[in-house]
């Protein structure tokens, strides 16, 4: 049992390393494009609502906390608390997605979209001789949607995993002797949180 638990954990960490590099490609692309269009990126990020981003950060941090409390409950074979904390985590995840939905629809309304659909805003100052705005604005939102979108997909997958774990926990399948799935889903969930910890300042805060 001990052996299998350790093996699963190594496997999970290897998977998390691939996740880091999967997101990493997008972070590298974002960094290079920001270096290419510094002014555009600064102006474009003003369109993101800082309070909503901060709210989502807090929600995800709390969900991480409830998750780790859930794992702790599983280690103590406390079925009731485990189910409760998993439910709380799912609720936090749903709040996060709700806020994201609100933000996304706002962006769509204002046509703050990738280059092909981007509509110039009054505040966009980088323009060519004909008055066309730079592609950099659209590029910013292309990255915004790709990175938060990929992150959102991970949240969605996480909700399903958490629900699955919660159902199994409710059936009493986990105890201090066997809680590997809870631990692994927990690791996944923390990674999703960890990535958001970087996304938040990069998109909402950096000047």
Partner 1 sequence: MSTQTHSDKHEHGGPAVYTKTLLALLFLTIVTVGASYVDFGSGNVVIALFIATIKASLVALFFMHLRWDKPVNAVIALAGFLFLGIFLMFDFIDFGARDNLRPVNFNGMPMIQGASGASGAPAAAPAPAEKKE
Partner 2 sequence: MEQSLKFHSKVADLPRPVKNYLNNDPGIWSWMTTIDHKRIGVMYLVGVMSAFLIGGIFALLVRLSLLTTHHTIFGIQVTAEVYNRMFTLHGAIMVFLFIIPSVPAALGNFVLPLMLGAKDVAFPRLNLASFYLWVTGAVMAVASMIIGAVDTGWTFYTPYSTTTSGTVTLMTMAVFVLGFSSIFTGINFVATVHKLRAPGMGWFDMPLFVWGIYSTAIIQVLATPVLGITLVLLALERVFNIGIFDPKIGGDPVLFQHFFWFYSHPAVYIMILPGMAIISELIPTFSKKTMFGYRAVAYSSVSLALLSFIVWGHHMFVAGQSQLATVVFSALTFLVAIPSGVKMFNWLGTMYKGNISLETPMLYAISFLLLFAIGGLTGIFLGTLSVDVHLTDTYFVVAHFHYVMMGGTVIAFIGGVHYWWPKMTGRMYSEKWGAIGCALVFWGFNQTFLTQFFLGSKGMPRRYYNYLDQFQPLHAFSTYGSWILGAGLFLTAINLLASLRKPMDAPDNPWGGTTLEWTTSSPPITHNFEDQPVLERAPYDYRPEVVAHS
Helix (H, G, I), strand (E, B) or coil at 77: coil
Query: Which residues contribute to the site for partner 2 (CB under 8 A)?
Result: 3, 6-7, 10-11, 14-15, 17-19, 21-26, 28-29, 32-33, 36-37, 114-116, 134-136, 138-139, 142-143, 146
- Both structure tokens of 77: 């074979």
* DSSP H or E segment with residue 113: none
Shortest separation between residue 152's beta carbon and partner 1, angstroms: 19
With CB under 8 A as the contact rule, which of the stretches 72-80, 94-102, 141-149, 158-166 interacts with partner 1? 72-80
Please enumerate in sequence order all residues whose Cβ is within 8 A of that of 206, keeping only pairs 6 or more positions apart, or say none. Answer: 42, 45
Query: Is residue 194 close enough to count as binding partner 1 by CB under 8 A?
Result: yes
The binder of 99, among partner 2, partner 1, none, by C-beta within 5 to 8 A per type, is: none
Q: Tokens 């799912």 sit at which residue?
A: 90
Shortest separation between residue 145's beta carbon and partner 2, angstroms: 8
State the CB neighbour count (10 A cutoff) for residue 8. Answer: 14
**What is the spatial distance between Cα 30 and Cα 144, in angstroms, rounded to a whole number?**
9
Largest CA distance in the chain: 70
User: Which residue in 74, 96, 103, 98 sits closest to 193, CA to CA?
Assistant: 96
Q: For the chain, what is the radius of gyration of the CA atoms?
A: 20
The binder of 193, among partner 1, partner 2, none, by C-beta within 5 to 8 A per type, is: partner 1
Instruction: By CB under 8 A, name the binding residues for partner 1.
Output: 5-6, 9-10, 13-14, 16-18, 20-21, 24-25, 27-28, 31-32, 35-36, 50, 54, 57-58, 61-62, 64-65, 67-69, 72, 75-78, 115-120, 130-133, 135, 138, 176, 186-187, 190-191, 193-194, 197-198, 200-202, 204-207
């Amino acid at each position: 049992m001990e052996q299998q638990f350790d093996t699963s954990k190594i496997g999970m960490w290897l998977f998390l390393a691939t996740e880091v590099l999967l997101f990493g490609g997008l972070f590298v692309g974002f960094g290079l494009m920001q270096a290419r269009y510094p002014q555009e990126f600064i102006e474009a990020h003003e369109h993101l609502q800082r309070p909503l981003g901060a709210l989502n950060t807090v929600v995800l941090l709390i969900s991480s906390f409830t998750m780790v409390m859930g794992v702790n409950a599983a280690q103590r074979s406390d079925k009731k608390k485990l189910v409760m904390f998993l439910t709380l985590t799912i609720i936090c995840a749903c709040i996060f997605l709700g806020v994201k939905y609100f933000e996304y629809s706002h962006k769509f309304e204002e046509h703050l979209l990738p280059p092909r659909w981007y509509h110039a805003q009054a505040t966009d100052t980088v323009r060519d001789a004909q008055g066309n705005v730079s592609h950099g604005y659209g590029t910013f939102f292309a990255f915004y949607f790709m990175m938060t979108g990929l992150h959102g997909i991970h949240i969605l997958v996480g909700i399903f995993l958490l629900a699955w774990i919660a159902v199994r926990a409710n059936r009493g399948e986990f105890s201090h002797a066997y809680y590997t799935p809870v631990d692994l889903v927990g690791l996944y969930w923390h990674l999703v949180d960890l990535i958001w910890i970087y996304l938040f300042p990069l998109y909402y805060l950096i000047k």
